[in-house]
Chains A and B, each alone.
Chain A
Amino acid sequence: MDYFFQQLINGLTLGGVYALVALGYTMVYGIIQLINFAHGEIFAAGGYLGVILLSYMASQGLMDSHPWFGLAFALILAMGYCAMLAMAVEKVAYKPLRQSSRLSVLLSALGMSIFLQNGLMLTQGVYDKAYPTEFTHGGFEWLGVRVSFMQIGILLVTTLLLVLLNTLVFRTRIGKAMRATAQDKVMSALVGIHSDKVISTTFAIGAALAAAAGIMVGLYYGSVRYDMGFVPGIKAFAAAVLGGIGNITGAMIGGLIIGMVEILAAAYIPAGGEYKDVFAFVILIGVLYFMPTGIMGENVDDTRV
């Protein structure tokens, strides 16, 4: 039973991270019906920026006294950087294609993803970059379950960001504008909502969440790699679809489920560890086959799916 709770905690940590990435997919898809393939690369860029900033601060001796402050600072800077990156990607590759076919935008997104991934490789090298280790040790044991401080940190940051996002989307003007644009772009433009601005903001918010997830994954596994964005990106997309694409609460639930399934499958199914990446895809296909609108999704009209 201890083993089960241990896996549950691990799954919760991983699932929270997937949920953060999934939010970026689901919000963008909700507004402009585009699978933003480049989102996974923005997640990777966030992880890299975390490494860059943390090692710089460590070398300057800024991390000695208050390492967690340093981490928070890096987190915020990386989120800002990725928001800028995502806005640039949107302006260059998606905005000029608003009126063209869905396939064109999708391919442009795919091209952008390959471009960013190789940009990361060229600037940062092909090898893994290690995160500083001072955050990885330390923790406590409670009823036989080992919880590291980092897992608690990840859970706390994830929860905080999710709460912030919920407030932003459901309690502020810009959130209202986003929901209106997602529902009907033409109508919301007619009542004076600047849809380009809303779309830019959506990309920026999604990217900031992905950047935070990138740093946390980097801390969790101890290193980042230039192609680390692809598989988590697809898993997060699976999470978004599972929860019902376009639905924010759904993306959170979907992320948690995918993370849990992955960890539990690796723990309990023989050879599950090697095949752990398969489960997200199997869930994705299963969901789309049996309930195409996901867990929380509404019935969207046929042309949208």
Chain B
Amino acid sequence: MTRGSRKSWQYFGLGLAWFYLLLWPLLGIRDGELHFADAFAVWLRVAVGATICFVLYRLGKAGRLDGVLSPLAAARDAVGDALGRAPRWMLLAPVIVFALAYPMLTNRYAQDVAINVLVYICLGLGLNVVVGLCGLLDLGYIAFYGVGAYTYALLSVHYSVPFWVCLPICAIFAAVAGCFIGYPTLRMRGDYLAIVTLGFGEIVRIVINNWMALTGGPNGILGIKSPGIYIPHFVDGSFSFEYLLLRKLEYLYYIILALAAFTIVAVHRINFSRIGRAFEAIREDETAAELMGVDTFRFKLLAYALGAVFGGLAGAFFAARMRFVSPESFTFIESAMVLAMVVLGGMGSIPGVILGALALVALPEAFREFELYRMLAFGGAMAVMMLVRPAGLWPAARMGKRSDDTE
């Protein structure tokens, strides 16, 4: 055992002792008595888990695990190479076929989860335009989702406007809201921008919560219509269109699949267009981009508006699917969830965001019995990810380091 490793073990032990000291007052003092067993039981579990992780980490660092890790790394590289060489349609075709056949293979519950994942993919990709491409940290993104949802809810309940007509209206409203929020914040950078967008998100939520006459306040809006389609109808040789409301989960699945596909294609097109390059230039170095003739003001506003459009579309679908909206769905924690998807998956990378949405929505469903610990694990995972893999699970191909960070 070297001196360095002894020292790290000492720190590790100190950390565990520190953790017990922090844990005990919260669990140990109650009902006028001091308990030690409960806190110790929780501590022991965490301590065993942490020790295993720490031993693995030390072994990996000392090179003892090379026998296992290097073949694994080699296998990963080989698979990566093979995938890289295969034409793109060969990779995409099975995914598309699977996505289309999904409702036939699965039950209601699985479809429900899939719909959730797809909604979050739309949201994540929308936020990805703002955060991943343009580098503007937005902590109030869920406000646009809320704007979309409430726009459809109000139009549907009061004027019974059909879903398909509302979809572009919701997108436009969300884009306007995006410009509205984007405009005053454009002078700010980094941290200040984050906190101001957070403030805007909260303002939207508080207004929704308190404007009883329009939004019903905390009671929300009930009786929103599902999306409908006209289907050709033949009766006794005469031909007519019949209006059918799509209430079944499978139909809703296909609608959100179409929306998600539209979002993926659109974000991909934005990413590799002139606009996308301008966004990336702003992300890498705003001052330099400005000097090279990028109209940063216009493009940052555009990024907000474009990001908001996808949030608005997802919001309209959410309202149509739940047939109920209330302010509870648009809290800060939802914004943090979407942001975590973008960051965990890999900022600026479309497959990364999809992976992030899958990881954060579908994985917790697999561990339902630990439901209570879900947000705890989620917060912890966010911090740990930043420590071990700041670029995300599937990093974007083009990504530099912001000039602000190198001060």
Q: Which residues of A from 254 to 271 have beta carbons under 8 Å from B?
A: 271
Known: A230-B332, A275-B210. A284 touches B196 (CB 8 A): yes
**Contact between B202 and A52 (Cβ–Cβ < 8 Å)?**
no
Q: Which residues of A from 167 to 218 have beta carbons under 8 Å from B?
A: none
**Contact between B184 and A114 (Cβ–Cβ < 8 Å)?**
no
**Contact between A113 and B379 (Cβ–Cβ < 8 Å)?**
yes
Q: Is A33's beta carbon under 8 Å from chain B? A: yes
Which residues from B are CB-within-8-Å of A231? 202
Residues of B in contact with A, size category:
35 or more
**Contact between B372 and A111 (Cβ–Cβ < 8 Å)?**
no
Which residues from B are CB-within-8-Å of A122? 372-373, 376
Q: Is B19's beta carbon under 8 Å from chain A? A: yes
Q: How far is the CA of A56 from the CA of B25 in the complex (A)?
A: 11
Q: Which residues of A from 85 to 104 have beta carbons under 8 Å from B?
A: 85, 88, 91-93, 96-97, 100-104
**Contact between B194 and A106 (Cβ–Cβ < 8 Å)?**
yes
**Contact between A102 and B336 (Cβ–Cβ < 8 Å)?**
no
Q: Is A48's beta carbon under 8 Å from chain B? A: yes
Q: Shortest beta-carbon distance, A108 to chain B, in Å?
A: 4
Q: Is A155's beta carbon under 8 Å from chain B? A: no
The chain B residue with its CB closest to the CB of A85 is B22
Q: How far is the CA of A122 from the CA of B366 in the complex (A)?
A: 21
**Contact between B29 and A52 (Cβ–Cβ < 8 Å)?**
yes
Q: Shortest beta-carbon distance, A143 to chain B, in Å?
A: 35
Q: Which stretch from B52-60, B162-170, B239-247, B398-406 is at the chain A interface?
A: B398-406
Which residues from B are CB-within-8-Å of A281? 199-200, 202-203
Known: A56-B32, A111-B383, A305-B188. A120 touches B199 (CB 8 A): no
Residues of A in contact with B, size category:
35 or more
Which residues from B are CB-within-8-Å of A106? 137, 191, 194
* A-B CB contact pairs (8 Å), 28 listed: A35-B194, A35-B195, A56-B32, A92-B383, A96-B387, A100-B386, A102-B402, A103-B402, A104-B386, A106-B137, A107-B383, A112-B383, A118-B375, A118-B376, A120-B26, A123-B23, A230-B332, A234-B198, A234-B199, A275-B210, A278-B207, A282-B203, A284-B199, A285-B184, A288-B187, A288-B192, A303-B404, A305-B190
The chain A residue with its CB closest to the CB of B404 is A303
A49's contact among B25, B336, B403, by CB below 8 Å, is which?
B25
Q: Is A19's beta carbon under 8 Å from chain B? A: no
Q: How far is the CA of A59 from the CA of B372 in the complex (A)?
A: 30
**Contact between A292 and B192 (Cβ–Cβ < 8 Å)?**
yes
A115's contact among B22, B198, B200, B376, by CB below 8 Å, is which?
B376
Q: How far is the CA of A85 from the CA of B26 in the complex (A)?
A: 12
**Contact between A84 and B199 (Cβ–Cβ < 8 Å)?**
no
Q: Which residues of B from 208 to 238 have beta carbons under 8 Å from A?
A: 210
A84's contact among B22, B31, B184, B191, by CB below 8 Å, is which?
B22
Q: Shortest beta-carbon distance, B337 to chain A, in Å?
A: 9
Q: Is A241's beta carbon under 8 Å from chain B? A: yes
Q: Shortest beta-carbon distance, A72 to chain B, in Å?
A: 18
Q: Shortest beta-carbon distance, B300 to chain A, in Å?
A: 15
Q: How far is the CA of A88 from the CA of B203 in the complex (A)?
A: 33
